[in-house]
Amino acid sequence: MSEPIDARTIVVLADCHIHPAAGIDWPEPALEAFAGADLFITLGDMGERQGLDALARIAPVIGVSGMDDEPDPRAADKVRLFDVGGVGIGCVFDPVEAGAAMAKDPLQPVGGGSLHRVFGGPAAVALWASTHKPAIEEADGVLWINPGSATLPSEGEPKSFARLQIENGTARAEIVRIGPA
């Protein structure tokens, strides 16, 4: 069953591994780029709770957990489905582990009604993570979005996040690069 959410501009983050004591925190260009967000959706491996707290000073934070997350009720579940403006948005950290994909690098989504079973309802957008590589693609009428990482991208990849716009029952997404290319 989907959770209704009122938002229009969503910043999607994953794989940030925020650990301030280890020197990994939000870079100022990232925080500036997050301006205008109505909501943050985090997809796991966000690190310590204080990273989510910093985001919450900008906009509400919800999401799912990965492997490197302090326990936090905002992102306690492994799989979630949100209804944002009539658009079903499914969230997972690892799409293979969740049963939504056969492979994740490159992504090979499982077709048919699998997403309905994974998320417990229809998803027009599937948000996923765990590769530190940004990607947007469409498969079987579903918009698949991996935001990459705003702090620890995979080698050769940009620091990035995804911006998801919901308007009139339609979702549009872009990968936003942070800092120089």
The helix/strand/coil state of 29 is helix
Distances (CA, A) of 35 to 2, 10, 57: 27, 11, 11
Domain that holds residue 25: 3-177
CATH number at residue 139: 3.60.21.10
**CB within 8 Å of 178: residues ≥ 6 apart:** 27, 29, 30, 33, 150, 158, 159, 160, 161
- The number of distinct structural domains making up the chain is 1
Each residue's pLDDT, cut to its tens digit, for the chain (181 residues) gives 578 888 999 999 999 999 999 989 999 999 999 999 999 999 999 999 999 999 999 999 999 999 999 999 999 999 999 999 999 999 999 999 999 999 999 999 997 778 899 999 999 999 999 999 999 999 999 999 999 999 999 999 999 999 999 999 999 999 999 976 5
